[in-house]
């Protein structure tokens, strides 16, 4: 017995020594003073599932021990055993998950596992010093979490919430008050027990870790947090411009950091601006709306964002709402009179504004998708405003839609020496006596392509009769006079048709430089390709005044009704996500079937006795508001033992839980009934926040009932609700003479858990 007691004491002392090494004597002293119990390894996961919300040195200690031991399962470590493949294969227990189900932690690594991020969230926000202790003891683990932050949204939220009022952030880039950067060197009064040391930001400093998290959660940051991010932007953008793929914020190094610089004002005015803009189009990680807003703020023209920066920032990975949904009538008058509540005001500024807007227009024009969307809006604008500058060319294109018109004609081409391939037809037929060596008609022209022409055809003609001309070749060079971009180019060829992309069809800056060679034949040759009857005379300017011709014809794009008059969008369908935090409205054009989605994630809800009404108003769009009703049932929903996870009944002690998946939204109260001598309950939400907890007991095993009022909480606080119940049952025992001799385990059970709505 003495030996056993001595072994237990030695084990506890070893834990205290490790605890001291991790946290320092002050925290150990507090732990000893309050007699805090340090759990055994097998109970680590269960302990964290129960007490992660506690402001506790022991909770922090268990997390850091778990990180260290799970990732160092190697011979020589005191926790290692060769018969087990991993830490969790040797040390495990049952625990209640963050969804309320009872699970085993066997063969389930906790470190880097998103399933346990809810517990991590609670420890971070309830123990602000935990992050400092974590970086002190397991810096690589903290950094790895941030490098894979996309897999850890709940952990990301914990850092965002922790730093919402500027905790540990200081002045940002290279600031001495930035605790995440400087650590022990920080001049902040709130650096806790930071032990790491740095003097300036590098790829491996922990402020970069926080930036990764912020890059993943940018739309959820408050103004001070975004201001902190901005202090790093010029440095990161310059680094990327100078070093490309080797830069700290390169996509191959950190998508989150790249997202930050792509959306920044510094990126907007940098040499990589077009790359960043193109990345945002079609990519959900960077909102093109953030680029617009940050650019406007940098140019000091935020007041020109009439619907507000927050609204504009919601434009996600395209400009469809801005250009394609807006009807181009421009009936807005001011920021307080937006007409029919579309983005015409924004589309107009992008197309015609100067300064900041001209910079944005350059980026829009440089992307094929947004350029075509802008041209679509411009066509509809000019149709509705025919007297506007530039309106004629668009109206002309629409009037000639689908038609072919002559763009250039030269009917008087004279003979010239043109180094023709004597004896070789354009088709490759060799007959030296067939052609007039060195004689052909040649012409060329340069012109601005009319807006709307999508196909160009080159043709030649010669007067009737043999010998006027027996073959032609063409050459062309088509380019954008604004950018110098060459669209199509060809040397002498028989091909005579060029098709342009939509982007170039509707551009007003496309130049066509083209030419023709018409080869001469013998005067008495036959028209057959296979023979001739004599050499004869070569036709030329002296022979009966025969002159060949050159024509360039353009076919205008077939502009459909929706381009002429605009799409007629109507609501096609609504889709709510599972938890009613966002609603998607599918808008479809009744004429052509073109569809686009409008997403509203600013949902309002109203709770009634029997239902919850969720409303998506789709502000500043043409979508009709949508309300969805979730019934609360008959007023009560009752769950019994069969609905619970874990041990809802048994002997002695036991625990069980009611999973979140079974609980309908919007409860106003809950009644718990159990048979036991002591019953404790904990009600938590999806973030592990304790909504309510308590204990009810009696001197004998009896039915105990407890009502918990939830009416003080809103539906967001009760999101993902689940219940944990722990029970103990004891009953007296008597000897054969009916004399009381003590307490023994008795039967316990949960009678029901009843939710009231």
In this prediction, residue 391 carries a pLDDT of 62
For residue 68, which of 134, 147, 2, 10 has the smallest C-alpha distance?
134
Query: 744 with 652: CB under 8 angstroms?
Result: no
Any domain includes 675: yes
pTM, two decimals, is 0.69
Q: Residue 47 corresponds to which tokens in the numbers above? A: 């302990």
Same domain flag for 611 and 705: no
In this prediction, residue 31 carries a pLDDT of 42
- Please classify residue 286 by burial: count the beta carbons closer than 10 Å to its beta carbon, then call 0-12 exposed, 13-18 middle and 19+ buried: buried
Any domain includes 351: no
Asked which of 513, 532, 556 is the last residue of a domain, the reply is 556
Query: 30 with 23: CB under 8 angstroms?
Result: no
In this prediction, residue 328 carries a pLDDT of 86
Asked which of 86, 106, 127 is the last residue of a domain, the reply is 127
Same domain flag for 413 and 550: yes
In this prediction, the residues of the chain whose per-residue pLDDT falls under 50 are: 1-34, 417-438, 464-468, 522-546
For residue 396, which of 501, 513, 508 has the smallest C-alpha distance?
508
Any domain includes 15: yes
Same domain flag for 551 and 659: no
Gap between the Cα atoms of 122 and 57, Å rounded: 14
In this prediction, residue 370 carries a pLDDT of 92
Same domain flag for 646 and 622: no
Same domain flag for 474 and 604: no
How many structural domains is the chain composed of?
Answer: 4
Any domain includes 307: no
Same domain flag for 482 and 596: no
- CA angle (119 as vertex; 160, 223 as ends), nearest 5: 10
- 583-606 pLDDT, tens digit per residue, is 999 888 776 667 778 888 889 988
- Please classify residue 13 by burial: count the beta carbons closer than 10 Å to its beta carbon, then call 0-12 exposed, 13-18 middle and 19+ buried: exposed
Asked which of 94, 127, 160 is the last residue of a domain, the reply is 127
Any domain includes 44: yes
Same domain flag for 429 and 520: yes
Q: For residue 3, what are the domain limits? A: 1-127
Same domain flag for 505 and 448: yes
Any domain includes 294: no
Same domain flag for 67 and 122: yes
Same domain flag for 419 and 548: yes
Q: From residue 466, give the alpha-carbon distance in Å to each of 462, 472, 611.
A: 10, 15, 90
For residue 507, which of 556, 559, 451 has the smallest C-alpha distance?
451
Query: 206 with 196: CB under 8 angstroms?
Result: yes
- 472-488 burial code (b ≥16 CB/10 A, e <16): bbbbbbbbbeeeeeebe
Any domain includes 732: yes
- CATH number of the domain that 668 lies in? 2.60.120
In this prediction, residue 187 carries a pLDDT of 96
Same domain flag for 543 and 687: no
Rounded to a whole number of angstroms, the CA Rg of the chain reads 38
Any domain includes 117: yes
Same domain flag for 417 and 547: yes
């Amino acid at each position: 017995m003495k030996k056993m007691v001595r072994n237990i004491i030695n084990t506890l002392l070893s834990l205290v020594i490790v605890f001291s090494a991790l946290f320092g004597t002050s925290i150990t002293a507090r732990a000893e003073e309050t007699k805090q119990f340090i759990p055994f390894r097998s109970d680590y996961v269960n302990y964290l599932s129960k007490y992660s919300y506690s402001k506790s040195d022991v909770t922090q200690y268990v997390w850091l021990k778990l990180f260290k031991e799970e990732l160092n399962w190697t011979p020589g470590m005191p926790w290692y055993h060769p018969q087990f493949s991993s830490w969790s294969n040797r040390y495990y227990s049952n625990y209640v998950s963050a969804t309320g189900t009872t699970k085993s932690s066997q063969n389930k690594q906790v470190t880097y596992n998103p399933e346990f991020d809810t517990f991590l969230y609670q420890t971070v926000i309830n123990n602000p010093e935990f992050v400092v202790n974590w970086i002190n003891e397991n810096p690589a683990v903290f950094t790895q979490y941030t490098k894979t932050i996309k897999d850890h949204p709940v952990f990301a939220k914990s850092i965002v919430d922790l730093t919402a009022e500027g905790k540990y952030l200081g002045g940002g880039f290279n600031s001495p008050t930035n605790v995440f950067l400087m650590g022990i060197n920080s001049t902040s009064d709130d650096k806790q027990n930071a032990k790491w040391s740095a003097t300036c930001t590098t790829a491996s400093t922990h402020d970069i870790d926080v930036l990764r998290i912020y890059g993943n959660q940018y739309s959820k940051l408050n103004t001070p947090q975004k201001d902190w991010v901005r202090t790093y932007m010029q440095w990161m953008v310059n680094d990327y411009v100078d070093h490309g793929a080797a830069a700290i914020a390169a996509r191959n190094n950190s998508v989150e950091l790249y997202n930050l610089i792509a959306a920044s004002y510094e990126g907007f005015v940098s040499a990589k601006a077009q790359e960043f803009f193109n990345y945002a189009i079609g990519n959900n990680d960077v909102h093109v709306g953030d680029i617009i807003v940050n650019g406007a703020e940098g140019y000091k023209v935020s007041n020109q964002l009439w619907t507000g920066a927050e609204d504009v920032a919601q434009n996600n990975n395209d400009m469809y709402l801005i250009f394609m949904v807006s009807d181009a009538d421009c009936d807005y008058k001011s920021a307080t009179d937006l007409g029919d509540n579309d983005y015409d005001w924004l589309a107009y500024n992008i197309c015609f504004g100067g300064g900041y807007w001209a910079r944005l227009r350059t980026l829009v024009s440089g992307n094929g998708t947004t350029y075509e969307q802008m041209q679509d809006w411009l066509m509809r604008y000019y149709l509705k405003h025919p007297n506007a500058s530039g309106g004629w060319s668009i109206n002309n294109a629409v009037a000639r839609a689908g038609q072919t018109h002559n763009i250039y004609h030269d009917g008087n081409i004279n003979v010239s020496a043109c180094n023709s391939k004597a004896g070789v037809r354009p088709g490759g037929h060799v007959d030296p006596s067939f052609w007039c060596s060195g004689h052909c008609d040649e012409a060329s022209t340069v012109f601005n392509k009319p807006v709307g022409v999508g196909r160009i055809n080159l043709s030649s003609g010669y007067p009737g009769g043999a010998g006027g001309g027996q073959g032609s070749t063409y050459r062309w060079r088509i380019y954008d006079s604004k950018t110098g971009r060459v669209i199509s180019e060809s040397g002498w060829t028989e091909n005579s048709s060029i098709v342009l992309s939509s982007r170039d069809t509707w551009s007003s800056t496309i130049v066509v430089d083209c030419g023709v060679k018409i080869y001469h034949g013998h005067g008495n040759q036959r028209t057959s390709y296979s023979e001739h009857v004599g050499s004869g005379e070569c036709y030329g300017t002296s022979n009966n005044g025969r002159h060949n011709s050159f024509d360039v014809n353009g076919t205008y794009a077939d502009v459909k009704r929706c381009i002429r008059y605009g799409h007629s969008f109507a609501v096609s369908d609504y889709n709510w996500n599972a938890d009613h935090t966002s609603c998607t409205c599918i808008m479809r054009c009744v004429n052509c079937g073109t569809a686009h989605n409008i997403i509203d994630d600013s949902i309002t809800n109203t709770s009634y006795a029997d239902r919850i009404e969720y409303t998506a108003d789709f502000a500043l769009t043409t979508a009709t508001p949508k309300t969805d009703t979730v019934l609360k049932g008959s007023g009560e929903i009752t769950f019994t033992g069969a609905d619970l996870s874990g041990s809802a009944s048994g002997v002695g002690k036991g625990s069980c839980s009611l999973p979140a998946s079974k609980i309908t939204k919007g409860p106003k109260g809950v009644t718990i009934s159990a048979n036991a001598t002591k019953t404790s309950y904990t009600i938590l939400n999806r973030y592990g926040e304790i909504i309510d907890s308590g204990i009810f007991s009696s001197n004998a095993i009896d039915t105990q009932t407890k009502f918990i009022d939830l009416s003080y909480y809103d539906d967001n606080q009760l999101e993902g609700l689940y219940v944990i119940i722990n029970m103990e049952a004891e009953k007296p025992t008597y000897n054969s003479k009916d004399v009381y001799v003590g307490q023994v385990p008795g039967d316990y059970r949960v009678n029901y858990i009843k939710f009231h709505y």
